Amino acid sequence: MKRASSVQTTHKKKKSKLRRILSESLKMRSFHGLVAVAFISVIAFQSCVVHGNFYRDVYFNWGAKHSYIYGNGDNLNLLLDKSAGSGIQSYNSFLFGSIEMLIKLVPGNSAGTVTAYYLSSTGNYHDEIDFEFLGNSSGQPYTMHTNIFTQGKGNREQQFKLWFDPTADYHNYTIHWNPTAVVWFVDSIPIRVFRNYKSEGIGFPNQQGMQVYSSLWNADNWATRGGLVKIDWSCAPFMAGLKKFNARACKWEGPLSIIKCAVPTPFNWWTSRVYKQLNWDQLGKMKWVQDNYMIYNYCTDYKRFGGKMAPECYKPQY
C-alpha cells in the first residue's frame, strides 16, 4: 500500500507540473499574440504616414520654367516674374487626414503677390480649403487669408496677421480634415475650426476627394490694400520656398472612399476621438491668435452680407 501511495503521489506531482507548464505556455502564446496584434497595429498606423517627395508626388501645372525641385525631392521653389508665376498640384487626391507643408514666403517687398497653399476638387460644385498669403510692402506684415468652399460656395473668409516673420524661415502650415471638422494649424497652433453641421443643411466637404495645390502668382488687382499697391517688378524674381510636404491622409479612390475614409477604425487615425475636439491647451492657443491677430471674420461682416449671416456663424465651431 505504501508503494501504491508513493506512485500516486508521484503521478499527482507530474500532473501538477504538466498543468503548470501548459498554463505558462498558454500565457506565453497569449503574450506573443498580443505583441503580434500591437505590431500589426503599428504597421497599419505607419502605413498612413506618407513622407512626401516633390519629384514623386506633385507636378507643375503651370510655370514649370519658373520653378525647380532640389534636395532629393524634399525642397521646391516657386518663382514669379513679369512673364509668369508658377504652380504645382499633387497626383493623388485625398479625403480626410492631415496635409502638411513647410513654407518660407517671399521676402522684402512682396506687395501684389500671393502665395497659395490649398486643397481643392474640380468642377462648378467643388470643395476647397485655403491658405493664402497676401504680400505687402517691405516692413509690413503678411496677411494670412483662409477660406473654405463647399459645393462651389465660398465667402467664408477669415484673415490674420502673422505673429512671426514668415520670410525668415520655414513654418509649418497644416490642414487637418476629418468627418467632424476642418482645422487650420500654423506651427501646431490651431487658428480656425469649421465644424460639420451637414445634418442641419450647412455644407461640409466630405463627398469629394481633393488634390493639394500651391502657387505663386500676380494678384496685384486685389491682394495688397485692395489692389491699391501694385507689384514692383524691379524686385523680381519673387520666390517662395516649400519643403517637407506630407500627406498623412486617405487616398481618394472614387465614391467608395466616402465610406472607406470616414469609417472609425484604427487605420483611419483621423477619426479617433482625440481629433473630434480641440483640447484645452489648443483652445487657449487658438483664442490667443484670434484675440490678437485676427483682422477679418466673415461672421461679423454684417454690412457685406446685409445682416443675412451664414447659418454656421450661429453655431459653436469648437
Catalytic residue of the set 24, 132, 200, 253: 132
| Pairing mode of beta strands 294-297, 158-161 | antiparallel
Strands, E assignment, the chain: 58-62, 68-70, 75-80, 86-104, 113-120, 128-134, 143-149, 158-161, 171-177, 181-186, 189-195, 210-218, 238-251, 294-297
Q: Are 153 and 203 in contact (CB under 8 A)?
A: yes
Does residue 200 carry a catalytic annotation?
Answer: no
What is 239-268 written as a DSSP string? EEEEEEEEEEEEEP-STTHHHHTTS--SSS
**Looking at residue 150, what DSSP letter applies?**
B
d(CA 44, CA 63): 38
Q: How far is CA 109 from CA 54, 88, 105, 171, 229, in A?
A: 28, 24, 11, 19, 11
| Peptide bond between residue 190 and the one before it cis (omega within 30 degrees of 0) | no
Give the burial string for 173-194 (b: 16+ CB within 10 Å, else e).
bbbbbbbbbbbbbbeeebbbbb
Of the listed 24, 100, 128, 253, which one is catalytic?
128
Taking the C-alpha atoms of residue 9 and residue 62, their distance in angstroms, rounded to an integer, is 88
Which residue from 255, 187, 215 is spatially nearest to 78, judged by alpha carbons? 215
* 312 given a catalytic annotation: no
Catalytic residues: 128, 132
